[in-house]
């Protein structure tokens, strides 16, 4: 028997939920709705469910929990919403209420347990610096590698380390733990997330860094947008594409048609659109064309918000639609290891010939040392 829950976190967004006019504009963009087709799987449906939980009109049964957790938190609906509703905030508050009422999804529970125990969601026991064989030392520049680049898409970490070395930067990696993005997205206890934030800030501070760069869009968004809500961030924070776009880098030519996928965390959540394109524009002999949906209107890759770990089939279907849009290109480039992984699943589903690469993987062999 599923109970009605105490929805303490949703109380503060009651008015926001009441401003939904049910116009349905959000239906035209939601990547999840497109695959499922039920109103409960789009922003207005999720808002109705959250409102029902808050008022104890509906119990938190399996279908309610599923619909709250099938949002990728891509923020595209907010772009289209004429009422300006912060849908992602409502969804994430609903998740915090579900977790507080012991309704965390079993797959997410494993992720949280591993993050708290090992400092990463993948169950890996060896730290970032040791895994990457990089020495930590006091330096003005820090590179926050992120769990996915360290343990799952290692070539992105290696490419970034190589580029910074070729450019003679005095940089260090830090004693990092998972940035806390996954925990925050799936509704974990805020105090646990804040403890992780404090740990990461202390690790960077201990090495005296004045600036930290990120190759992961999710980690970058956390430090740029979320950390300052909870802790002091006493150093400059930039995505690696912003850092490199300002440098006078000489590239070898690349005779390929390139297109670019804006990660939701880097684009809609953090407003970084130009820097990756500026870097790509410097590659001699390459051609660049945008996909139909780009920049603020970019389609989501389908993997964010805990959807990939809990609903991998759904994440793969959304990724396949994104890869379809890039059919004209030789290379689909993005700036997030998580998007890379999920888009590669989409490529497999489509049997698409397009190469999927992180921006660092693409440019590393082209950077003249």
Q: How far is the CB of 81 from ligand SF4 (least distance, A)?
A: 3
Which of 7, 49, 53, 76 forms a contact with ligand SF4 (CB under 6 A)?
76
**128 contributes a contact to ligand SF4 by CB under 6 A:** no
Query: By C-beta, is 227 or 311 nearer to ligand SF4?
Result: 311
The edge-to-edge listing of strands for the beta sheet with 211-214 is 171-173, 141-144, 211-214, 236-239
| Residue 81 touches ligand SF4, criterion: CB under 6 A | yes
Only segment of 77-85, 109-117, 166-174, 179-187 that touches ligand SF4 (CB under 6 A): 77-85
Q: Which residue among 10, 17, 65, 87 contacts ligand SF4 (CB under 6 A)?
A: 87
Q: Binders of ligand SF4 among 290-309, rule CB under 6 A? A: none
- Judged by beta carbon, residue 119 or residue 303, the one nearer ligand SF4 is 303
- Regarding 46 and contact with ligand SF4 (CB under 6 A), the answer is yes
Q: Least CB distance from residue 95 to ligand SF4, whole Å? A: 12
Q: Output 21 or 165, the one with its CB closest to ligand SF4.
A: 21
Minimum separation from the CB atom of position 31 to ligand SF4 (A): 6
Q: Which of residues 2-21 bind ligand SF4 (CB under 6 A)?
A: 20-21
Binding of residue 29 to ligand SF4 (CB under 6 A): yes
Near ligand SF4 by CB under 6 A: residue from 55, 83, 165, 281: 83
DSSP for 53-91, written as a single string: HHTTSS---HHHHHHHHT-----HHHHH-TT---HHHHH
CB atoms within 10 A of CB 80: 17
Number of residues located near ligand SF4, criterion CB under 6 A: 29
Neighbours of 129 (CB within 10 A): 17
Q: How far apart are the first and last CA of the chain?
A: 64
Alpha carbon distances (Å) from 328 to 130, 287, 353, 357, 364: 40, 11, 10, 15, 24
Determine whether 328 is exposed, middle or buried from the number of CB atoms within 10 Å of its CB (0-12, 13-18, 19+). exposed
What residues does 172 pair with on adjacent strands? 142
d(CA 134, CA 174): 10
Residue 281 as a binder of ligand SF4 (CB under 6 A): the answer is: no
Residues 19, 81: Cα–Cα separation, whole Å:
11
| 3-class DSSP state of 157 | helix
Least distance in Å: CB of 217 to ligand SF4?
15
Note whether 315 binds ligand SF4 by CB under 6 A: no
Judged by CB under 6 A, which of 9, 44, 108, 357 binds ligand SF4? Answer: 44
Of 34 and 348, CB closest to ligand SF4: 34
Q: Does 185 bind ligand SF4 (CB under 6 A)?
A: no
Per CB under 6 A, 72 contacts ligand SF4: yes
Specify the length of the chain in residues.
369
To 10 degrees, what angle do helices 62-69 and 43-54 make?
A: 130
Identity of the residue, 30 or 275, whose beta carbon is nearer to ligand SF4 in the bound complex? 30
**What is the rounded (10 degree) CA torsion for 303, 309, 313, 319?**
10
Indicate the SS3 state at residue 368: coil
Least distance in angstroms from the C-beta of 69 to ligand SF4: 10
- Residues 263/217, Cβ–Cβ less than 8 Å: yes
The CA distance from 179 to 200, in Å, is 7
CB of 28 to ligand SF4, least distance (A): 9
Task: Give residues in contact with ligand SF4 (CB under 6 A).
Answer: 20-26, 29-32, 42-44, 46-47, 71-77, 80-81, 83, 85, 87-88
């Amino acid at each position: 028997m599923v109970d009605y829950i105490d929805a303490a976190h949703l109380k503060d967004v009651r008015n926001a939920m009441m401003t939904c006019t049910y116009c349905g504009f959000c239906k035209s963009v939601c990547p999840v709705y497109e695959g499922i087709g039920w109103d409960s799987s789009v922003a207005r449906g999720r808002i109705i469910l959250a409102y029902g939980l808050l008022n104890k009109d509906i119990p938190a049964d399996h279908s309610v929990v599923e619909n709250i957790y099938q949002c990728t938190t891509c923020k595209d609906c907010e772009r289209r919403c004429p009422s300006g509703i912060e849908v992602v905030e409502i969804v994430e508050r609903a998740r915090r209420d579900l977790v507080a009422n012991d309704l965390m999804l079993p797959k997410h529970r494993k992720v949280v347990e591993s993050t708290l125990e090992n400092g990463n969601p993948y169950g890996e026991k060896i730290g970032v610096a040791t895994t990457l064989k990089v020495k930590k030392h006091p330096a003005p520049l820090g590179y926050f590698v992120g769990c996915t680049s360290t343990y799952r898409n290692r070539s992105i970490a290696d490419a970034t380390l190589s580029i910074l070395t070729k450019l003679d930067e005095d940089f260090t990696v830090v004693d990092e733990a998972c940035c806390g993005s996954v925990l925050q997205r799936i509704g974990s206890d805020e105090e646990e997330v804040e403890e992780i934030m404090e740990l990461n800030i202390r690790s960077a501070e201990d090495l005296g860094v004045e600036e930290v760069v990120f190759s992961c869009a999710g980690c970058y968004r956390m430090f740029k947008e979320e950390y300052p809500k909870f802790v002091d961030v006493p150093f400059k924070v930039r995505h690696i594409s912003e850092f490199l776009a300002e440098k006078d880098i000489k590239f070898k030519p690349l005779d390929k048609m390139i297109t670019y996928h804006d990660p939701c965390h880097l684009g809609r959540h953090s407003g970084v659109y130009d820097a990756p394109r500026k870097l790509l524009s410097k590659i001699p002999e390459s051609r660049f064309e945008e996909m139909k949906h780009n920049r603020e209107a970019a389609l989501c890759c389908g993997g964010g918000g805990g959807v990939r770990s809990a609903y991998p089939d759904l994440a793969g279907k959304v990724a396949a639609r994104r890869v379809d849009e890039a059919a004209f290109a030789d290379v689909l480039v993005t700036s997030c290891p998580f998007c890379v992984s999920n888009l590669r699943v989409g490529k497999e589903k489509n049997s698409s010939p397009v190469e999927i690469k992180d921006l660092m993987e693409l440019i590393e062999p082209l950077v003249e040392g």
